[in-house]
Structure 1
Amino acid sequence: MLNQYLDIQPEVAEALANNQPVVALESTIISHGMPYPRNVETALMVEEAIREQGAIPATIAIIGGRLKVGLDEAQIRHLGQAGQQVTKVSRRDIPFVVAAEKDGATTVAATMILAEMAGIKVFATGGIGGVHRGAQQTFDISADLQELANTNVAVVCAGAKSILDLGLTREYLETQGVPVVGYQTDSLPAFYTRESEHSVDYRLETPEQIAAALKAKWQMELNGGVVVANPIPEAYAMAPEVITNAIETALREAEEQGIAGKASTPFLLARVCELTGGNSLDANIQLVLNNARLGAQIAKNYC
């Protein structure tokens, strides 16, 4: 029944059939996360970084109502040029975008769903969504967290986006039984910075150890994802006070302008980029590349 909706790129399908490593990549980062042409350049660089580690990249999106696992360069360029005109797709949106035969850029949650449909176990991204600041009043909690509770895909990220409430995000993941693994770190990284005041559940030193834990979890049918928190490389990390000031300014402006829901994250990330003179965009690109390399190494060991 799935074949009715799902197109797996031949190279990706062949790798999966032969138990070769495949790493899923999201497309919201292309359409909504970065300006053109940096978004396309970054997407292609990330795919190349995965290939250099000996794995196959599978960028995921919805094109013309078809669920696509693995995109070609023309499709990536199309998503990058169309930018925010492309619908941002989470779990709830998938059937409507498919039925309307539209294009969709997949969030962390939607990418996890399509990756699991295809049989991909490892997904590399920038940062996961989480509990937004002020969620005690707004109940604004990313669908990414609920997906991590239910979907058997490991998400390699630089922690949760620093525009979020990291403490509440951490509590939510713990309640849902989602393990947070720190790669060579005891501290939950905060996207642009290597550390936060929050700890991880387990510190693991090698991709082999992470792959072994994933295999044990899913072979025992302990369903749900795993957060693999991989700190941004030290050379590209931003000073905590610089990023904190930018985030607080952006949050205040979002509130004044009444920006909320799924419009809030693209607005905040773009505004933080402006306030840091573009430094946050450079940092964002480097941490995604770093996560892609680690994702490929974990996928190789998992296979």
Structure 2
Amino acid sequence: MINIKYSAEVQAARSNNTAIVALESTIITHGMPYPQNVEVAAQVEQDIRESGATPATIAVLDGCLHIGLEADQLLSLGQAKNVAKLSRADFAACLATGGTGATTVAATMIAAKLSEIEVFATGGIGGVHKGAEQTFDISADLLELAATPVTVVAAGAKAILDVPKTLEVLETHGVPVIVYGQDSFPAFWSAQSDLAAPLRLDSAAQIASAHVLRQAIGLPGGQLVANPIPDADQIAAEILAPIIAQAQTEADIKGISGKSVTPFLLQRIFELTEGKSLTANIALVRNNARLASNVAKELITLRS
């Protein structure tokens, strides 16, 4: 049996049938240093509360799956060392061995489904890495979206990825890619790209309705909502493009591959933008949390 524990706040929301939004925990353990990681995580949780929903930050602590973290648990996780980064492949093993792990997009979706949470807010999903035609480096997030019925609100795929190929894989697996309020696919730190939006919806109510109708039709999997970063917080794509290219070249020269690629690239982009990439990242996560809260509330309304 899976050992699942709900925070007091999440348990109350479950009992009262009010909106809940799942949050991943790798942003805490692998995204930024302490104490900024804890401060940002707490702020995102508060954004969800102020939007009328309940936050459920998900993590595995000592072999127990936690759906929602108490304040002391969040603080402890933010200071922990050597925390596993959990995806679909290693999630069960961490539980079986009594380990501690932070959940990626894929693992958070799995945990959300287990706890009947239908909406999840994150920064950006993983996808097809550049050069994947040789390395086959494709994130498990894409196949999870095809399999697990959770609506994921993100600012698109991380801009360090091969975004056109990422969209092709999502299309192949029948994952709806819905851009919120515009006709171009957002480019994570940048609001616009030269890629067309596969689908466009303009309200949280429409997104919630699409989620419910997919289930009614009998279609498996979830949907990706690409929520553009607010204009005031973005970094223009023409500024970022040469920076991303430089970071990728450095990674190639150093022979960095596999799971090490993304953290290396994000760190180098942080350095090359003098911290602006992290500031934008925080802004987009908070923006996604607010939209996800509205979608979760609309789902409650639809089903009431």
Q: Which TM-score band applies after superposition, normalised by the shorter structure? A: over 0.9
For residues 282-297 of structure 1, the aligned pairs below 5 Å read 282-297=279-294
Give deviations 1:99-143, integer Å, cap 9, x for gaps. 221210100000000000000000000000000000011000000
**Per-residue deviation at 1:289?**
0.2
Which of 238, 246, 250 does residue 249 from structure 1 map onto? 246
SS at match of 1:91: coil
- Determine helix, strand or coil for the equivalent of 2:241: helix
Per mean C-alpha deviation after superposition, the further-off stretch among 92-101 and 12-21 is 12-21
Map of 1:103 onto structure 2: 100
Counterpart position of 2:165? 168
Q: Deviations over 1:246-275 (max 9, x none)?
A: 211111121222221112111211111111
**In structure 2, what is the Cα distance between the partners aligned to 1:242 and 1:81?**
34
Counterpart CA distance in 2 for 1:128 and 1:219 is: 26
Matched position secondary structure for 1:20 = coil
Question: Unpaired segments of 5 or more residues in structure 1?
Answer: none
Pick from 257, 262, 268 the counterpart of residue 260 of structure 1.
257
Q: Which residue of 2 aligns with 1:201?
A: 198
Residue 63 of structure 2 is matched in structure 1 by 65
Unaligned runs of 5+ in 2: none
Is the 1:16–1:119 contact (alpha carbons within 8 Å) kept by the matching residues of 2? no
1:1-303 aligned within 5 A: 1-2=1-2, 5-82=3-80, 85-303=82-300
- What's the CA shift for 1:50? 0.1
Find the aligned partners of 1:107 and 1:42 in 2 and give their Cα distance: 17
Distance 2:14 2:185 in 1: 31
Aligned CA distance change for structure 1 residues 79 and 256 (closer, same or farther; 3 Å): farther
Preserved CA contact (<8 Å) 1:27 1:61: yes
Tell me the TM-score normalised to structure 1 length: 0.96
How many residues align? The count is 300
Which amino acid is the alignment partner of residue 235 of structure 1? A
Provide TM-score, normalisation by structure 2.
0.96
Partners of 1:257 and 1:271 lie apart in 2 by 13
Is the deviation greater in 196-205 or in 115-124? 196-205
Secondary structure in structure 2 of the residue aligned to 1:193: coil
Asked if 2 retains the 8 angstrom alpha-carbon contact of 1:8 and 1:118, the reply is no
- SS of 2:268's equivalent? helix
User: Do 2:193 and 2:237's aligned partners in 1 also have CA atoms closer than 8 Å?
Assistant: no
Instruction: Give the whole-Å Cα distance in 2 for the aligned partners of 1:54 and 1:165.
Output: 36
Aligned equivalents of 1:75, 1:267: Cα separation in 2? 28
Q: CA deviation at 1:238?
A: 0.2
Superposition RMSD in Å? 1.1
- Cα-to-partner distance string for 1:136-161 (whole Å, 9 max, x where unaligned): 11000000000000000000000000
Q: What is the rounded CA distance, in whole Å, between the counterparts of 1:80 and 1:254 in structure 2?
A: 27
Q: Aligned equivalents of 1:127 and 1:203: distance in 2?
A: 18
C-alpha separation in 2, matches of 1:82 and 1:123: 24
Shift, 1:11, TM fit: 2.3
In the alignment, the residues of structure 2 paired with residue 257 and residue 78 of structure 1 have an alpha-carbon distance, to the nearest angstrom, of 34
Displacement of 1:223 in angstroms is 1.2
Please say if residues 251 and 261 of structure 2, whose CA atoms lie closer than 8 Å, have aligned partners that are also in contact. yes
> Distance between the aligned counterparts of 2:239 and 2:63, measured in 1?
41
More divergent stretch after superposition (274-283 vs 32-41): 32-41
Query: For residues 33 and 8 of structure 2, what CA distance do their matches in structure 1 show?
Result: 29
Return the alpha-carbon distance in structure 2 between the equivalents of residues 31 and 259 of structure 1: 21
